[in-house]
Chains A and B, each alone.
Chain A
Amino acid sequence: MKTVVLVKQVPDSGAERRLRDADHTIERESADNLINEMDDYAIEEALRLQEAHGGEVTILTMGPTQAAESIRKALSMGPDQAVHVLDDALAGSCAVATSAVLAAALRTLSPDLVLSGAESTDGRVQAMPHMVAERLGIAALTGARKLTVGGDGTLTVERQTDEGYEVVTAATPAVVSVWDTINEPRYPSFKGIMAAKKKPVSVLSLADLGIDPGEVGTAGATSAVVSHQERPARSAGQKIIDQGDGGVKLVEFLASEKFV
């Protein structure tokens, strides 16, 4: 089985993040950049399928130069190779344009299975797996908490929902997006880190993919952020000094905020 895992580099969601005043995009240079957490689970799932069924695992990333760090990190977990779509014109791309670029790159790789995280911790749109599948004209099995591959290559997914789960199936090729309930991602090993330095990473530009730069990036965006504002600083809380009536005041406060 030939699997491609979509990996996105995102700013650390645990750290302070800022938007640039000029174009309202994230200041990636100042942020601590990591692999999108949910993508780790997609990589792990790809590696488990490879261990069970053979084949190869390729990482596909669209992102600026520093995304190469996340590609190496992903490769250190075990995938065989990576493709990095890198082009200055991609900066500010909307989800629709991003899906066009990823789909074009996927066409050059012709995978049996495309795995991705169910959402990214920066955008949280959860639309990319669907959009990519639509562009490629293949099935999208999204929000998987379990994935099995049958003897005939049929994919069966337990699709996590608010109420429980649904079982859906599709023939390959297909896109499967996963939640963090699907597995426990492995740590890279020291040997894996060393080996990752030697694994092939092909860099593709928009020209390589035959995409007009005007259709992507800020220029080609179908939506635009027109303004942004910093989250207001947290104001000082209300201090209750216990003078015999502290308990009552606490309950009054909780009641006023509708906690009790």
Chain B
Amino acid sequence: MVTEDPRLLPTPEAHDLLELTRELADKELAPRADEGEHRGEFPRELIRTLGRAGLLGLPYPAVHGGGDQPYQVYLRVLELLASRWLAVAEAVSVHTLACYPLAAHGTDAQRERLLPAMLGGELLGAYCLTEPAGGSDPAAMTTRADRDGESYLVSGTKAWITHAGVADFYNVFCRTGGGGANGISCLLVDAGTPGIAPQARERTMGLRASPVAQIAFDGVPVPVDRRLGAEGQGFSIAMQALDAGRLGIAACAVGLAQAALDYALRYARERQQFGRPIVEFQGVGFLLADAATQIAAARALTLSAARLRDLGLPYTAEAAKAKLFATDMAMQVTTDAVQVLGGYGYVADHPVERWMREAKVLQIVEGTNQIQRLVIARGLAHG
């Protein structure tokens, strides 16, 4: 069970929010996760239910329909969702990330027009930064947006796009100027615009309920008033969004690992060998003790970075540390959970093998863990 010491929550309303999240997670997510992952179907209606409950715009202002919650509370919600069904938590994280460019860099007119439906969860978002030729070096992107009167015409291909084909809007980062990071802008594009072609879904190792695909843009007309921020500001917007997104992935990793520990612990208390429960053997008990310790550390690191963000302080390096540590931890803990269950852990009758497959992607998305080290090292060298 996810630690819920009320002293760690800043307000009574945060406590109420987590109660609501727990009810939704237990009744709506947990019973559907296995089947949903097996069938590989995106649970769009379930995401709408979360939207109606107010969970899809938590860290944004109430005036635009958000939940006005500090990031540390939003992350606790995400952690709880991830402990029941990672694909759904990831959908919430990606959607929340996709609302960031508009919420933080849109004009008042843009926000008033577009943000309420996004934060209310009627519209699902996606984030189109990465391209087939390079994920870790987005400044080298080649997708272009050429000015044509009061519109841009967007052409190029984006890759590894979560919610490809199911999203209602895409944040598309594309080149409006010359080479390098300064030539990139951010456009908010309706998914139904002609010329957008989501490709066949990737056949992923895990998170199969979450659609991931390339999206081809072929002369897609986007009104100039759908540009978020100034021309050339796109790269900086993308990096800011990723800082926050990384904390989301870290929280997902903590939730996933907690689920794996809880499951392995329950099994180890019941499974008898040599006449006693295997949790009483030090080899198993220490494995679980290490997992519990690592989870607590990852949670603390993640929330500590979130509190910096909530105070308006720089947190780029702290977010990178949290993402790196929490996702490596989740890989280890889910692998150990399989080990605790032994042969039973390796078969699909128990969810731990799925969780182990799901953990792997967390070390890769929102910047590989190698990139996180680069961010941390850069901060150390120049900080």
Contacts and interface: CB of A to CB of B under 8 A. Distances in A.
A188 B16 CA distance: 11
Which secondary structure dominates where chain B touches chain A?
Answer: helix
A187 B13 contact: no
Interface string A184-207: 001111110110000000000000
B338 interface: no
Contacts of B20: 187-190, 193
A193 B20 CA distance: 9
Nearest to B12: A197
Interface residues of B, number: 13
B24 interface: yes
Contacts of B55: 190
Interface in A152-196: 186-191, 193-194
Contacts of A186: 52
Contacts of A193: 13, 16-17, 20
B17 A187 contact: no
B54 interface: yes
A190 B67 CA distance: 8
Nearest to A193: B16
A78 to B, nearest CB: 11
B49 interface: yes
A187 B16 CA distance: 13
A191 B23 CA distance: 16
A224 B14 CA distance: 44
Interface in B70-93: none
Nearest to B49: A187
Interface string B123-155: 000000000000000000000000000000000
B52 A190 contact: no
Contacts of A187: 20, 23-24, 49, 52-53
B76 to A, nearest CB: 13
Residue from the set A188, A189, A190, A193 with the largest chain B CB neighbour count within 10 Å: A190
A197 B54 CA distance: 17
A65 B179 CA distance: 68
A193 B12 CA distance: 11
Nearest to B21: A190
A147 B49 CA distance: 24
B35 to A, nearest CB: 19
Interface in B41-80: 49, 52-55, 58, 67
Residue from the set B16, B17, B49, B58 with the largest chain A CB neighbour count within 10 Å: B16
Contacts of A188: 20, 53
Interface string B11-47: 0010011001001100000000000000000000000
Nearest to A191: B54
A158 to B, nearest CB: 26
Contacts of A189: 20, 52-54
A188 B23 CA distance: 10
Contacts of B67: 190-191
A193 B55 CA distance: 13
A149 to B, nearest CB: 24
B45 to A, nearest CB: 12
A83 B236 CA distance: 54
26 contacts: A186-B52, A187-B20, A187-B23, A187-B24, A187-B53, A188-B20, A188-B53, A189-B20, A189-B52, A189-B53, A190-B16, A190-B17, A190-B20, A190-B53, A190-B54, A190-B55, A190-B58, A190-B67, A191-B54, A191-B67, A193-B13, A193-B16, A193-B17, A193-B20, A194-B13, A194-B16
Which 10 pairs from chain A and chain B are nearest by CB? A190-B54, A189-B54, A193-B16, A189-B53, A187-B53, A191-B54, A190-B17, A190-B67, A190-B20, A187-B24
Given A187-B24, A191-B54, A193-B13, 18 more contacts: A186-B52, A187-B20, A187-B23, A187-B49, A187-B52, A188-B20, A188-B53, A189-B20, A189-B52, A189-B53, A189-B54, A190-B16, A190-B17, A190-B53, A190-B58, A190-B67, A193-B20, A194-B16
